[in-house]
Structure 1
Amino acid sequence: MQNLVRNLSRAATLRQLEILATVYRLGSIKAASEALHLTQPTVSIQLKKLGEAVGMPLYQMMGRKLVFSDFGREIAQSATRVFSELSGLEMRLADLRGLRSGALKLSVVTTSKYFIPHMLGPFCERYPGIDIQLNVGNRQQIIDRLERGDEDFYVFSHPPEDIDTVSTEFLVNPLVVIAPESHPLAGKRRVSLAQLAKEPFLMREPGSGTRFAIEQFLKKQNLKLNVRMTIESNEAIKHAVMSGLGISILSAHTLTFGGNAGLVELRVDKLPITTSWHMVWPKSKSLSPIADRFLQYVHDEGRRLIEGEFKRTGLIATKRLR
């Protein structure tokens, strides 16, 4: 093992380790080459040289799938930690310079993409030298990224319980029932769950945080919805509702910041479903100065900004959307 480490430290370059860590994180040479702005042959050649330096194969191709060897996986994970430490050093030096440079990396579930940019705007104005990297995906995709731990924060409405993380609530996330303005139930003072269950329903896809919350609610109420269609996009659901294809349940934030023309919120018993947005990060990862400053900002000014916009538009539970 000592010879292996000695060979690695003598022959491997930081660039090769960066390439290896990126291939491991993204799962393919093609994706890594695009992320690093290199050609695929260049990536393959550098990995080959690195494998020769340690005297062990790093991976093999099984059909079209790239599978890491135990040696390759260990080196890639160690390289990831090395670059995380280097990034942390950059952040700490940036803090000494008054946060004039550095990076903040976020991965957020799709529904939070409606308000997260509104939080980021003022923060970026205050610290214009900071590079913001924002990745958006469904709940399962963000869980996968959390397990790799490449970003500073991960935004969930329902953080995973089987990963060792730190989680802090920063914003209420009410899920409301929406219908077209012409819907027969739109003018009702109160709609029962039995009435709701009879209506054609448009559901988010498996893996969505919104769907997870809805399913938890249905389980508690022992209720089954008349699901007509599964749709992978909040925007597509809103347009489908406006077109009369059915009703749905969405986060009120998708309506506050994503538009709500032609829609009403139905006043349904035991609704809205009240959840919260969480900032999550791996317990093993220390917050950089920039990440720590952003977290303070989110809990203070960022939250007030979003809540103020929420109230300004009149989009609060049990009120008709305007």
Structure 2
Amino acid sequence: MNINLRQLRLLEATSRLGRLTDAADEQAISQSAASQSIRELERTLGYRLFLRIGRHLEPSEAGRQIMPRVREILALVDGLESPQQEVIGGDFHVAASVTVGCYLLPHLMAEFCRRHPRVVPRISIGNSGEILAMLEKGRAQLGIIEGPATHAELEIGLWRKDRLSVFCAADHPLAPHRQLDLEGLGAQRWIVREPGSGTRQVFDSAMQATAIAPVIALALPRQEAIKQSVLAGLGIGCLSALAIADEVATGQLVELDTPLQLVRNLSWIAARDRRTAGIVDTFLELLREQSAP
């Protein structure tokens, strides 16, 4: 079987990026050469590697099955360039859900780069569902998400706990009492994250446990939009305590005691074949060091 590394790198890049044009640019070859290379690889293997969905290429079932082995081969070959295991460097792409990406990951990445100056960091931010999809398609080396998650093809591990906070504006009628009882949960207008986010999953689960259907006034994908809507008097909000710490400290927002169970897990995600990469395991060691809330 005549397969070369250039073909495998193009195959991996196309699977990760979803567009042959982008993969060709990354591998510094023309689109026509990239297209010919994929066709030759498919002829050699005897099956299709990609399906065209609109403007994007999605791996076929066979393509998905062989991708872990392709990445393992490339990781082993790349390891020949740095035989010293203690040398950690190269591109490192971490995808994180919003709270982690805004309030925790920048400091973690800065510490990681201080320890390993050869690392070239990249950060992507999305909701938990989007992060899982990125890891599934190999478009990031590590993910950190909020809320529960399971996936047959990805390794998911607990990192630390995070507390969600229910809050209102300082001039809201609830602010002087700082309390919201069980009966009051259903009487409020709620401003929360969009469906698919880890924060929303935890909020919905906590409300379901009380058998109360909340009145969702606004579902927004940005934490700043939720905070500003609460400050404007449109309702009360629910976000990570990390996200509102500054506004609580200045007195703009007030945290409310409620009967809701709003403690959640923050978890890391890695493709099973990527865990052998030294840079991923080294970053996970840093996560374990800084696991306390």
What range is the shorter-chain TM-score in? 0.7 to 0.9
Q: 1:220 Cα deviation (Å)?
A: 0.9
Q: 1:143 is matched with which residue: 132, 135, 143?
A: 132
Unmatched tracts of structure 2, length 5 or more: none
Residue number in structure 1 paired with 2:77: 86
Moved more, 201-210 or 259-268: 259-268
Change (3 A) 1:168 1:179: same
Partner Cα separation in structure 1 for residue 247 and residue 278 of structure 2: 32
Change (3 A) 1:23 1:101: closer
Residue number in structure 1 paired with 2:229: 240
Structure 1 contact 107–134 (Cα < 8 Å) conserved: yes
SS of the aligned residue for 2:186 comes to: helix
Measured against aligned partners, the alpha-carbon deviations of 1:206-239 in whole angstroms (never above 9, x if no partner) come to: 1100000011101111111111111111122112
Q: 1:19 is matched with which residue: 5, 10, 22?
A: 10
Moved more, 43-52 or 62-71: 62-71
SS of the aligned residue for 2:237 comes to: strand
Matched, 1:47 2:38: yes
Equivalence map 1:116-127=2 (5 Å): 116-127=105-116
Partner Cα separation in structure 1 for residue 255 and residue 191 of structure 2: 15
Q: 1:27 Cα deviation (Å)?
A: 2.5
Residue number in structure 2 paired with 1:109: 97
User: Identity of paired residues, percent?
Assistant: 25
Change (3 A) 1:139 1:68: closer
Partner Cα separation in structure 1 for residue 68 and residue 278 of structure 2: 24
Change (3 A) 1:93 1:155: same
Point out the structure with the larger helix share: 1
Change (3 A) 1:209 1:57: closer
Q: 1:28 is matched with which residue: 6, 14, 19?
A: 19
Q: 1:55 Cα deviation (Å)?
A: 6.1
Moved more, 118-127 or 12-21: 12-21
Residue number in structure 2 paired with 1:163: 152
Q: 1:208 is matched with which residue: 197, 203, 211?
A: 197
TM-score (norm 2): 0.83
Change (3 A) 1:221 1:86: farther
Paired amino acid for 2:114: E
Change (3 A) 1:69 1:262: same
Q: 2:256 is matched with which residue: 252, 257, 267?
A: 267
Measured against aligned partners, the alpha-carbon deviations of 1:76-103 in whole angstroms (never above 9, x if no partner) come to: 554233224335x2697352xx335344
TM-score (norm 1): 0.76
Partner Cα separation in structure 1 for residue 116 and residue 104 of structure 2: 19
Partner Cα separation in structure 2 for residue 278 and residue 225 of structure 1: 27
Measured against aligned partners, the alpha-carbon deviations of 1:271-293 in whole angstroms (never above 9, x if no partner) come to: 46111222233455534333333
Change (3 A) 1:67 1:126: closer
> What is the RMSD computed on CA atoms of the aligned residues?
3.2
Measured against aligned partners, the alpha-carbon deviations of 1:125-162 in whole angstroms (never above 9, x if no partner) come to: 12211222323221111112333456443212234234
Structure 2 contact 141–270 (Cα < 8 Å) conserved: yes
Structure 1 contact 176–271 (Cα < 8 Å) conserved: no
